[in-house]
Amino acid sequence: MIRPSEAFRLIHINWILLQHGLDEVILALHFFRPLRFILYLNPWYWIRHKKLPPYPVRIRRALEELGPIFVKFGQILSTRRDLLPEQISNELARLQDAVPPFPGKQARQIVEQAFGRPVEELLDEFDETPLASASIAQVHTARLKNGRKVVVKVLRPGIEKIIRRDVGLLFLIAGLANRYWSEARRLRPLEVVEDYKKTILDELDLHREAANAAQLRRNWEGSELLYVPEIFWDLTRKNVLVMERITGTPVGEVEALKAQGISMRQLGERGVEIFFTQVFRDNFFHADMHPGNIFVEPDGRYIAVDFGIVGSLTQADQRYLAENLLAFFNRDYFRVAELHVESGWVPRNTRVDEFESAIRSVCEPIFNKPLSEISFGHFLVHLFQTARRFHMEIQPQLVLLQKTLLYIEGLGRQLYPQLDLWTTAKPYLERWMEEQVGPKAFSRKLRKNLPKIAEHAADMPLLLHKLLKDAAEHRLELQWKSEELQQLRKQLQQANSNNIWAVSGSAMLISGALLLTLGPSILLPASVVTGAGIGLGSAGGLLVIRALLRT
């Protein structure tokens, strides 16, 4: 049931869509389709559409007018290049997250309410003029009682209520699209909105952001490549975050960086190294590394800010990703296809040779170009689009990784256009793989598991004695628990119960006579009864029995 506030918001959204010439979006809905012919017969419609900017531009402008939540959604949607046409993705990437600030006095009140005392008791100075303003929060400069310069990040007042309302509307729109839009099955709008909901609600908790920053700071303590500002936990709450104030040049100001004598090639290569180190060494990466969140010190060291979105991978995903990248570098497409199947990213019944052929068709044209012209990020996009034909499931953690990689490569090429991400990354990945499978990896895992081994070592002789004794006395039992077997058992029990109540005594007598006369072949075809390897102990037997039960 749509509430009145939601209904008014929907009307407002539709009005903005009409203003920006996106009436085809509205008329694509099932219950508006009968009205399309009225619009199409109107000469004004055709004259107006000839004067309108391209379709992707209209989408971007409509999102900007709809407000900060839709801008944020458009930014995240722009990273789903595996789902959207390239022209729309490129246009959505231009969305700016700058919005008008809210009053500084209101920010002061939020800080005082969060701590229950005046700002003067907490800080020596607090500048009410915002340093920066975004859709979720805004930042003010301040000074601690001990003289240290800090920034105070304050959530926008009432932002959670606004976000939850607009996210609810996005779910409503996505639900309608899922029901009436022919492309919904491929683009999966409900899953896109669900991903967005999780991401943006996480950003509303500044405690979480502070914890992310603290973890990254520990990972890069003393590094010459990346600096992460210090968090002041005593002055941090869910809606207020106090962090060390940094000084540096925004990474997008290339001319200013060159004027400081900073090597653009070194800066680009360091960015690549930072990314792969976060992903593979630390398994904890900054997933919002756009130019607005990156600064550079005079010595060329990066500074990162805004830690609301971070990502991590499972050890299995880490391993598969590294092996995939190395296989691409070596043009071993069969191994790439195998890894996709082994990892479960594509269904197990996928034909590896067909998948290999599809991957080769994407990779070979790229490899035939000079390395300086290869876009690694767009290569991944085309690969995901190809994999989608083979029902490859979108992995949320890999979407964040893809988004970050596109940011890093775009930033690197802006700093140093000749940057070759592949050549820079390959030696790092090779070293990492050697550490994972070589003697060092064995030694590391042994040291890690040594306490568990020592804990159970004393019990091993007794367990071994019991095992041998049970084997000698023929008391060993093999216990196999399977969800499929449990389900099969329940189905058989249910079927048996139904038969007892549904079939009369005479019918049971007839069935018994048939079974005695004809044997088991009345239930199963001869090829199944006599076939080798068919039984409860094999996956093939389970599939045959389940298929027969469905008939």
Q: Which positions are annotated as active-site residues? A: 288
The C-alpha angle with vertex 407 and arms to 403 and 411, in degrees rounded to 5, equals 170
| Six token digits for residue 58 | 């209209």
| Six token digits for residue 401 | 């990784």
| Six token digits for residue 125 | 């100075």
- The Cα 40–Cα 376 span in angstroms is 43
Burial class (CB in 10 A: 0-12, 13-18, 19+), 469: exposed
In 10 A of CB 529, how many CB atoms?
12
Name the residue among 444, 416, 447, 421 with its Cα closest to residue 432.
444
Alpha carbons within 13 A on the beta-carbon side of 256:
10
CA 355 to chain centre: 23
| Six token digits for residue 366 | 């790229």
Decide: helix, strand or coil at residue 250: strand
Do 232 and 207 form a contact (C-beta atoms < 8 A)?
A: no
Cα-Cα-Cα-Cα dihedral sign, residues 315, 317, 319, 321: negative
Cα-Cα-Cα-Cα dihedral sign, residues 220, 221, 223, 229: positive
Alpha carbons within 13 A on the beta-carbon side of 410:
15
Do 128 and 105 form a contact (C-beta atoms < 8 A)?
A: yes
